[in-house]
Structure 1
């Protein structure tokens, strides 16, 4: 059967071979597999303002991806990277990630802000949610000068980034969530008590399971009226599928209906976000549609 994916069949076959394996070797394999496809395209935004500081810590840095010839007041995507709570960065000095996300956003008429944040175990819950609050405040103050609309910001995160976004939306990191137009959460941990307890989870949330219930974002997400898009990869790790099921059930019980949700076909935990711009039918199209839909109702009134 011929694939309808935009990715070459051999790349899809390799992603399926890697599947749910999640080791340093498989992580590097996915990153290296997709990098040449990005490099063959003009994947970066025309303008990237790098390492702007939004706080005092060395990791309080962000990049703004934009263009000088776009209209003012564009939707803004503030993206929070993953890394198992203990690693990750907004950009890689060698590979396209996450400059590829910034370029994708600009091609879809947005301004993108990619941020780093403090890492566990040195900085535990709710440090990253506090950093999101600070980065959001910086973005609201400065993004108009870079082509964006501070009243049309969508916050997005993947993996640990989605867990931190969820925590911020639950109010664990301070105020500011009420200013958002929407949020996108991919493959996150939303309810630590029902998540698989491992070294990385405990590095951030702590080793005392009795404290986990108070660190859950589940109830707050279920009650929230903020437009949100959730998702997992088809070939994601079982724990992320379980967290998605817990979330969907909590929203259904609270609201009687399911939230907007997508299972990204043919992709792994990493490739669901690393393939953005390469396989638009898998996730990019619904991602862009959500951002523009969520921000349309938040368009700033004319001066």
Structure 2
């Protein structure tokens, strides 16, 4: 059985004081407690220097089909790579931005400070919207990026997508189900999924989103379709993820390796479920270094 690469082997580690607090929390999903650790560590607060932001651009017809675009104000000699971020929220909550919180503008600032144009999206949630709303909305957002990102200095041929938790599941659905792809060939140069669910099965079934008919769960699972996807993939999880999330990531990596398509992967030492996206653009570079390496490697591999 293939094992996910341990990120503790990297040259960077979580700052010891943050690591101690995360270890004390254990294998829980505790957004507020994790945010309290990382919010003071986020490097910038609005207004952000040398960053142009367009808020609330509409990418689809639903009320929650909104996105924000972050771009450097400095002109570039060539269009920049693009990073789309898809937040989590257990399929029933979440947003791309919460007033007074640095999350998830931190992901956008991290993208901009590393030479990219950042796009963060909000999508439809349950119970008002059921499967496959999330995957469909990812498709609409990718199409919007391809149609509009040039006016923001972005390169539609170099679009990467990053998702966490439910956001990772929605990205996986998008990659696995070609009917959601409104751009031929997915329109992505690479995808990064952090602690998502790729096989719809207890305890990660959310009836409000997936429904209560277990006979539909195989169709709703993205793992079979991911085996056929040609999009380069990074699969991440956290040392202190709840076991079900860790098992999902391991199962995905194992299946891809058995299909001779081993993805880039990592288990982030001393991190928990929420620490992964919250740590971006802070003094904790464990997750960010791994993601940047994946993006840079895929950019180098492009013809």
TM-score, length of structure 2 as denominator length: 0.89
| Equivalent residue, structure 1, for 2:220 | 215
Asked if 1:189 corresponds to 2:197, the answer is yes
User: Structure 1 residue aligned with 2:96, among 84, 90, 94?
Assistant: 90
**Secondary structure of the residue that 2:180 maps to in structure 1?**
coil
- Distance in 2, matches of 1:261 and 1:94, equals 33
Structure 2's unaligned 5+ residue stretches are 1-10
| Equivalent residue, structure 2, for 1:224 | 229
Q: Deviations over 1:205-253 (max 9, x none)?
A: 1111110001111011122221111110111111111101221221122
Asked if 1:58 corresponds to 2:101, the answer is no
Structure 1's unaligned 5+ residue stretches are none
How many Å apart are 1:6 and its aligned residue? Answer: 6.1
User: Structure 1 residue aligned with 2:123, among 111, 117, 120?
Assistant: 117
- Tell me how many residue pairs correspond in the alignment: 289
Asked if 1:157 corresponds to 2:163, the answer is yes
Alpha-carbon spacing, 1:96–1:10, altered in 2? closer, same or farther (3 Å): same
- Distance in 1, matches of 2:17 and 2:87, equals 27
- Distance in 2, matches of 1:197 and 1:272, equals 19
Asked if 1:9 corresponds to 2:16, the answer is yes
How many Å apart are 1:109 and its aligned residue? Answer: 0.6
Matches within 5 A, 1:1-303: 7-22=14-29, 26-38=30-42, 44=48, 46-71=51-76, 72-171=78-177, 173-176=180-183, 177-193=185-201, 195-198=202-205, 201-255=206-260, 258-298=262-302
- Distance in 1, matches of 2:103 and 2:302, equals 29
Check whether the contact 1:127–1:173 (CA below 8 A) recurs between aligned residues: no
| Equivalent residue, structure 1, for 2:8 | none
Q: Deviations over 1:89-115 (max 9, x none)?
A: 001101100100000001111111000
- Distance in 1, matches of 2:13 and 2:253, equals 29
Q: Deviations over 1:170-215 (max 9, x none)?
A: 125243353211100110000113x4255xx222111111100011
Higher relative contact order (CA 8 A, sep 6+): 2
